[in-house]
Structure 1
C-alpha cells in the first residue's frame, strides 16, 4: 500500500464524497475511483459502501482510517525530525494523563522553545494505558504517567512531584463537610473510579481490602465527563486533586486520610532513537531532575 494512495483514501474519508475528494486532490473522479478500487483489491476488503450522495465506511474502512491517520502523522513527524541535524528543530510528541504535574512539563517546553523556536509540539491526552500503547507503537516520544504503572520495559525519570488522591463530591453531599475521607466513609456511596488497569491495586492497598465491596457504578478514563455526573450528584469520583477546578462550582475535593499519593514519571522506549528536538528536551529534563 503506497502512502500516496493512503492519502487519497483519507481525503475521501474527510470529504465524504469521491467527487469532492477528487477536486481536493486535483484528480479526475474516474482516476480516484480506480485508485480506491485497486486499494480494496490489494487489501482484499471493502472499504466503502457507496451511496447516492455520500460514502459510508465499512468496519474495515473505519479501521484503516484510524490507523492511516496515525501512519501519515508518524511519517510527517519522522520527515520533519530528519530534515535538519544542525538546527534543533522537529517535533516532540508527549502524551499524558490528567495531572497538574503537566505544568512542570509545560515550563520545560516553554524554556526549550524560547531557545529553539523551530520545535513543534504534539500533545496527547489519555490515561496511562493509552499513553503506553502509543509509546509502544512509536506514536509518542514521551509519556507522563502516574504511578502505579508498569515501567520495567521503559526508560524513565521520576519527577520531583506527587499527586494526591481523594474524592470529588457534590457540595450537597454529607461528606462534603468533612476535612478528610477515611475508607469507611465511602463504603456505601455510589462511586466512579479510574479505568486505568493498575489503579485498583493502589486503591485496594489504601482500603486494606478488595475494592469489590464498594458501590462502584462506573469507570472513567479522563475525569471531566465523570465530574459532570458528580455535579448532578449521580455519584462521587475517586480521583487525583487539582484536575477539576472546584472554585465557584458545586464540587468539593476532599483528600484521603491516611494520605494516598502517587509518583509521577516521564517514560520513553528503551533504545529509543530520538530526534534532535527530543534529545534537547531529554537533556533539559535530566538537568531538572
Structure 2
C-alpha cells in the first residue's frame, strides 16, 4: 500500500480499484482482465502467472472471544482445539493447511463450517459459538471482546503478488511493479 500511496501522490490522476476476495475471485478477475494484480496468500500453483514474493508472512492462529477459557492461553497447540467448534477459511480447508501442524489430532477437530472472508466469521465468533482459524491482523479487533492467539508450533503463509503472463501490463501497472521491485 505504501507503493500505491506513493504513486497516487506522484500521479494524482491515477485511479485505483481495490478488490477483496478469495483466490478464486482473484484468478477470475486476473484472467478476464479486470485486475492487473492480485495478492494470493499461501501455497498456490502459479504456473500461469508471474509472481513476486512479498516480504510479509501471515501467521495463523485463532480468533476467539476474550471470555472463553482458551483465550487465556498465549499460544494454541493442536491439543487445545480438540472438541472446540472451529470455522476455517474455505481455501485453508481445501489446501489442508493444518494437517501437518496437527498430525493425527486433526481427526478430532470439530470443523463446523467454512468462510471466504473473515469479517463474516468474526460475527459468529463474537457470539461465543465457535473459534475461527485465521491470520493475525487480518481484521482489526482493537477495542472488541475478541482476541487472537497464534498457533504453536508457528504456521505461516507467504504473500505473493501475481499478474497474468498472457496480458500486457498497462503503463501505470508497470510503474507500480517497477517501484515495488525497487523497495523490496
Q: Which bin holds the TM-score, normalised by the shorter protein?
A: over 0.9
Higher relative contact order (CA 8 A, sep 6+): 2
Question: Separation in 2 of the partners of 1:148 and 1:170?
Answer: 29
**Equivalence for 2:164:** 269
| 3-state SS, counterpart of residue 234 of structure 1 | coil
Gaps of 5+ in 1: 1-105
**Equivalence for 1:206:** 101
Answer yes or no: is 1:114 the counterpart of 2:9: yes
After TM superposition, which residue ranges in structure 1, 4 or more long, deviate above 6 angstroms? none
Contact 2:87 2:132 in 1 (8 A): yes
**Following superposition of structure 1 onto structure 2, how do residues 195-234 of structure 1 map, counting pairs within 5 Å?**
195-196=90-91, 200-209=95-104, 211-234=106-129
Offset of 1:234 from its aligned partner?
A: 1.1
Question: Separation in 2 of the partners of 1:115 and 1:161?
Answer: 25
Q: Which of 22, 32, 36 pairs up with 1:127?
A: 22
Greater helix fraction, Structure 1 or Structure 2: 1
Question: Separation in 1 of the partners of 2:93 and 2:123?
Answer: 24
Answer yes or no: is 1:146 the counterpart of 2:32: no
Offset of 1:212 from its aligned partner?
A: 5.0
* Per-residue CA distance 1:164-218 (angstroms, 9 max, x = gap): 0000011121100000000111021000000116654221121124845421111
Q: Which of 159, 172, 179 pairs up with 1:284?
A: 179
Gaps of 5+ in 2: none
- Let me know the Cα RMSD of the aligned residues: 1.6
Question: Separation in 1 of the partners of 2:128 and 2:105?
Answer: 25
| 3-state SS, counterpart of residue 45 of structure 2 | coil
Question: Separation in 1 of the partners of 2:104 and 2:17?
Answer: 40
- TM-score, structure 1 as length reference: 0.61
- TM-score, structure 2 as length reference: 0.94
Comparing 135-144 with 205-214, greater Cα deviation is found at 205-214
| 3-state SS, counterpart of residue 55 of structure 2 | strand
Answer yes or no: is 1:165 the counterpart of 2:67: no
**Equivalence for 1:22:** none
| 3-state SS, counterpart of residue 125 of structure 1 | coil
